[in-house]
Amino acid sequence: MKIKERFLKYVSINTQADEDSSSVPSSVCQLDLARILAQECKEIGFDEVQLDESGIVYATLFSTDDTKDAIGFLAHMDTACELSGKDVKPRIIENYQGEVIQLNDHYSMSKEMYPALATCISEDLIVTDGTTLLGGDDKAGIAIIMSALEKVIKEKIPHGKIMVAFTCDEEVGRGTDTFDLDRFDVDYAYTIDGGEVECVDYENFNAAKAHIEIVGSSIHPGDAKDKMINAGLLAVEFASRFPKEQIPSKTEGREGFYHLTNLQGDVELATLDYILREHDEDKFKAQKDFVTDLVDEFNQKYDGRFQLEIKDQYKNMYSYIKHDMRCVDKAKQAIEMAGIKPVSNPVRGGTDGAMLSEKGLLTPNLGTGSFNHHGRYEFASIQKMEKMVDIVINIIKY
């Protein structure tokens, strides 16, 4: 099966994660794709295939050359929560020449608005109809892995042990919660979950969530003098104390930020949710200390009405990978062999690979040839996906 047909088949299956669900996986629809992938892995000739109780598909190809490293490849089946992934109606733009792409009567995209389009001149693009996301994050990664491994098996390309895993709920931060590292026994692995095909990502944010709850005191406003404590106003005052230049819209590169993701409340109760992001570990600690100290200050001022919970989410994978760069060096070599100059940029986000690296499985991230993820302007380049198939095969062969 050509990668275009494979990708179009996968995006036709709704696998949108549910951030409000506590079930595993968070949405039953993810299992629809999991069952299809497990069957496809059997059909193309994997030696072992397992679909576990949490919806993860594991597939193993036994080694034909024990001198080669055991390597894993991962991609996630779920799509993002920001926009529907149901009833995706993709359209192919053949031989794109830089023109404005009209998705529907209301939405269009240009290379000026979305510079990734400018890197795809003369390529064939798969776009949305403007009403849903596309699902390239990360069904492009799944299609690349399946196409590469099908070729390895059919052409009897010599290889070490290869393991594949297709996971659930990456988009809601739970992609590795039930991942079985004992089952996935490889020397190192790669998530195929980025954009640009030249990228080898092995540096990402340290990440935490901060949840603040404020208890107020309500009374009739006519009798409120020196009695009412308005939790909503305290939340606004608290938020105003955060550094105004350290927000996502004013930072780039390795610059960290505080991102207020939710603020709601009334007189009696108010809550604020922040995500904290920093590449540097000392600066990350300072962010958490800042929030903790600010809550302490407000508790002193307002008689202990603030409660704080900080949860770490993932670490910068570089702090683990820097001690063994084999996986990075091999990926860069594979990209060079495909005629591309590899690059590595600090990722302003995180991947399943960050969590797996922290758990002991070094897992940098590679590209997919799909772009503008999580929205209606998402698109994928067929030629770039094909190039990624070559890169994955180069990793396996050499």
How far apart (Å, rounded) are the C-alpha atoms in residues 82 and 167?
19
Q: Is 211 annotated as a binding residue?
A: no
Q: Is 137 annotated as a binding residue?
A: yes
Q: How far is CA 171 from the centre of its chain?
A: 6
Q: How many helices (H) and strands (E) does the chain have?
A: 9, 17
Type and span of the H or E element at 380: strand 379-381
DSSP-assigned beta bridge partners for residue 57: 51, 166
How far apart (Å, rounded) are the C-alpha atoms in residues 331 and 313?
26
pLDDT of residue 1: 87
Q: ∠ CA(382), CA(88), CA(261), 5° rounding?
A: 100
Q: What is the 3-state secondary structure (H, E, C) of 64-85?
A: CCCCCCCEEEEEECCECCCCCC
**Distance from the first to the final alpha carbon of the chain:** 25
Confirm if 175 and 363 have CB atoms less than 8 A apart.
no
Fold of 3-203+316-397: Aminopeptidase (3.40.630)
Sketch the domain layout of the chain as residue ranges: 3-203+316-397, 206-313
The residue assigned the tokens 């004013």 is 250
Choose among 299, 28, 7: nearest CA to 124: 7
Compute the half-sphere exposure of residue 222: CA atoms within 13 Å on the CB side of its CA: 0
pLDDT of residue 328: 98
Q: Is 259 annotated as a binding residue?
A: no
Choose among 232, 239, 235, 224: nearest CA to 266: 232
Residues assigned a catalytic role: 78, 170
Q: Which residues of the chain have pLDDT under 70?
A: none
Q: What is the 3-state secondary structure (H, E, C) of 197-245?
A: CCEEECCECEEEEEEEEEECECCCHHHCCCCCECHHHHHHHHHCCCCCC
Q: Is 220 annotated as a binding residue?
A: no
User: What is the assigned CATH class of domain 206-313?
Assistant: alpha beta
pLDDT of residue 349: 85
Confirm if 176 and 358 have CB atoms less than 8 A apart.
no
pLDDT of residue 351: 84
Region class of 215: left (phi > 0), else alpha (psi between -120 and 50), else beta: beta
Q: ∠ CA(350), CA(248), CA(353), 5° rounding?
A: 5
pLDDT of residue 169: 95
- 183-225 pLDDT, tens per residue? 999 999 999 999 999 999 999 999 999 999 999 999 999 999 9
DSSP-assigned beta bridge partners for residue 314: 207
How many Cβ atoms from other residues are within 10 Å of residue 228's Cβ?
15
pLDDT of residue 259: 97
Type and span of the H or E element at 356: helix 352-359
